[in-house]
Amino acid sequence: MQLTDDQSDELTQLVFDHLCAQPLRTFVDLEQLLPMLDDALAPERTRESHARWGIPMRDRLLALGKSSELTLSSWLPGATADALDQLLGQPVKIPRKAIDDAVASEQVRESLRQLVTETLDGFVQRGLSGDNASSSSGPSLRGVLAFGARAAAGVGKGLLGGLGDEMQKQLQERAKLFVDASMAAAQKRLADRLASEETSRSLGKQRQKSFRRLLSRTEREAATWIEKSTPWAEMDRLLPDVVAHNLARQPLRDAIMQEARALVETLGDETLGEALTRLGLYVHAQHWVRTLGTLTMRSALRSESIALWLNKVTQDELTGG
């Protein structure tokens, strides 16, 4: 049995119409979803697919960007860029809990304590060593204190011998105790500063300036930065194992199945044809069927295996087999 081209084309259209009349859920086998993903995203297949398609496509895109002098602002309509500019210029409110957790950390506390202690230690040492800290307009506060410290040290050494050095050590120890006792108050003031409206407005303005600078960059600059700042070779090597690791995690597998079931439920009885129409793809699918689809069907019906099968079916009908 041999179908003519017209018969083949008619069969192709009938098959397409039949598929478009079927509910989308009939094309989904939830039980096979995870096994399919396990096979398709196995490390060796991910590595091969990424090397075959992902890496070359990335390299082509980067090369295209590095040859362009267009600014990144060309990616956005003017109205959208203006809207984003206004949005990003709004005050940035940092959550108080995040501020408290960061500022109250022992690392911050130690850094502040060390900074202030070193400053006071240096001040005391300079005062006792005889360094002058006066200005042209007269003795400053530091100069006065330095003079007092030197005088105290001189008196201590004159009356008590080597006890002047002990006085310096005691001053330093007292300074450290004072700093330690003041750290909680300093950390609270720092946290209050970060949580203030002034800081929020400042952060918003800085974010807005960064956005404007970004839009003024050329695609060449952006592509060059992306290429140089990203360890692509290391990421390409790690990608297959990262994908496999996460796909093996039970919480992610449960989430995938949950979303798949929700999608099928959302689709309900919507047919393939209705979905293609809603997405604006039905006309394009019809065009494919009438061009490439019909050619594919003609080629298939002329293949030896299908021709033999059609002849067998015809013979069975004639013989009643």
Lowest mean pLDDT among 136-145, 244-253, 279-288: 136-145
Final residue before a domain boundary, out of 147, 172, 194: 194
- Alpha carbon 79 to its chain's center: 26
Token pair belonging to 214 = 């970004």
Tens digits of residue pLDDT in 270-319 = 999 999 999 999 999 999 999 999 999 999 998 999 988 888 888 877 77
Average pLDDT over residues 219-248: 96
Tens digits of residue pLDDT in 23-41 = 999 999 999 999 999 999 9
Average pLDDT over residues 136-157: 50
Average pLDDT over residues 156-174: 58
Torsion sign, CA atoms 24, 30, 32, 35: positive
Is 200 within the bounds of a domain?
no
Lowest mean pLDDT among 87-96, 157-166, 241-250, 274-283: 157-166
Is 180 within the bounds of a domain?
yes
- Rounded Cα gap, residues 177 and 170, in angstroms: 10
Average pLDDT over residues 137-165: 50
Q: Are residues 188 and 112 in the same domain?
A: yes
Using only C-alpha atoms, the chain has a radius of gyration, in whole angstroms, of 38
Lowest mean pLDDT among 85-94, 139-148, 264-273, 300-309: 139-148
Q: List C-alpha distances in Å: 100 to 45, 91, 190, 244.
A: 47, 19, 10, 38
| Residue 129 in this model has a pLDDT that exceeds 70 | no
- Rounded Cα gap, residues 320 and 258, in angstroms: 50
Greatest pairwise CA separation for the chain in angstroms: 133
Token pair belonging to 192 = 């209050």
E strands, the chain, in order: 134-135, 138-139
pLDDT above 70 covers a percentage of the chain that reads: 78
Neighbours of 175 (CB within 10 A): 17
Q: Are residues 186 and 241 in the same domain?
A: no
- Rounded Cα gap, residues 302 and 101, in angstroms: 73
| Confidence label for 17 from pLDDT (cuts 50, 70 and 90) | very high
Average pLDDT over residues 3-22: 94
Tens digits of residue pLDDT in 59-78 = 999 999 999 999 999 999 99
Please give the tally of structural domains in the chain. 2
Host domain of residue 171: 96-194
| Residue located via tokens 């240096």 | 122
| Residue 114 in this model has a pLDDT that exceeds 70 | yes
Q: List C-alpha distances in Å: 268 to 212, 255, 272.
A: 46, 20, 11
The model's pTM: 0.69
> Looking at residue 187, what is its pLDDT?
78
| Residue 138 in this model has a pLDDT that exceeds 70 | no
- Rounded Cα gap, residues 17 and 12, in angstroms: 9
Is 117 within the bounds of a domain?
yes
Final residue before a domain boundary, out of 131, 165, 194: 194
> How many Cα atoms sit within 13 Å of 317 on the Cβ side?
7
> Looking at residue 112, what is its pLDDT?
72
Neighbours of 168 (CB within 10 A): 20
Q: Are residues 100 and 185 in the same domain?
A: yes
| Residue 110 in this model has a pLDDT that exceeds 80 | no
DSSP 88: H
